[in-house]
Amino acid sequence: MKEAVHIGRNPSAQPDLQKLIHEVALGDQDSFAAVYDAVAGSVLGVARAVLRDQAQSEEVAQEVLVEVWRTAPRYRPERGTVVNWILTLAHRRAVDRVRSVEAAAARDHRAALLDRTPEYDEVTEQVETRLEREQVRRCLRTLTEIQRQSVTLAYYRGLTYRQVAEALALPLGTVKTRLRDGLIRLRDCLGVSA
Amino acid sequence: MRTEDLHSLTGAYALHALADDERAAFEHHLADCGSCERESLEFAAATARLGLAATESPGPVLKDRVLHRITTVRQVPPGGGTVERARRVVPRGRGLARWALAACVAAAVGLGGTAVWQYERAQDAGDRAARAQQRAEELAGVLAAPDAASRTVRLTGGASGTLVVSERRDRAVFLASGMAEPAQGRVYQLWFDDHGTMRPAGLMDPGRGSQAVLMEGDVDEAVGVGITVEPAGGSKQPTTTPIALMNMPV
Q: Which residue of B has its CA nearest to A148?
A: B50
Question: Does the beta carbon of B37 lie under 8 angstroms from any beta carbon of chain A?
Answer: no
Query: Once rounded to an integer, what is the mean pLDDT over residues A109-124?
Result: 42
β B149-154/B115-116 pair status = unpaired
Q: Whole-model pTM?
A: 0.57
Which tens digit of pLDDT belongs to each residue from A134-156?
A: 889 899 999 999 999 999 999 99
The Cα A183–Cα B237 span in angstroms is 53
Within chain A, where are the H helices? 17-25, 29-51, 54-71, 82-98, 101-106, 110-115, 127-140, 145-157, 161-168, 172-190
Residue B193 CB coordination number (10 Å): 20
B131, B232 Cβ separation under 8 angstroms: no
Confidence of residue A122 (pLDDT cuts 50, 70, 90): very low
**β-strand B224-231 against B244-247: which pairing, if any?**
antiparallel
Cβ B129–A90 below 8 Å, yes or no?
Answer: no
CA atoms within 13 A on the CB side of B215: 33
Per-residue pLDDT, B242: 85
Give the pLDDT band (50/70/90) at residue A172. Answer: very high
Chain B residues whose CB is inside 8 A of the A80 CB are 41, 44-45, 48
CA gap B12, A181 in Å, rounded? 10
Do residues B96 and B191 lie in contact, with contact meaning Cβ atoms separated by under 8 Å?
A: no
Residues of chain B with pLDDT under 70: 1-4, 79-133
For the segment A11-50, what is each residue's pLDDT rounded down to a tens digit?
A: 444 678 999 999 999 999 999 999 999 999 999 999 999 9
CB contact (8 A) between residue B45 and residue A187: yes
B9, B22 contact by CB (below 8 A): yes
Pick from B105, B218, B115: nearest CA to B166 = B218
Phi-psi region of B124 (alpha: psi -120 to 50; beta: other; left: phi over 0): beta
CA A60 distance to own-chain centroid: 13
State the average pLDDT over residues A164-173. 93
Q: Is the pLDDT of residue A2 over 60?
A: no
CB contact under 8 A, B71 and A42: no
Q: Which residue of A has its CA nearest to B116?
A: A102
**CA-based nearest residue in chain B for residue A94:** B16
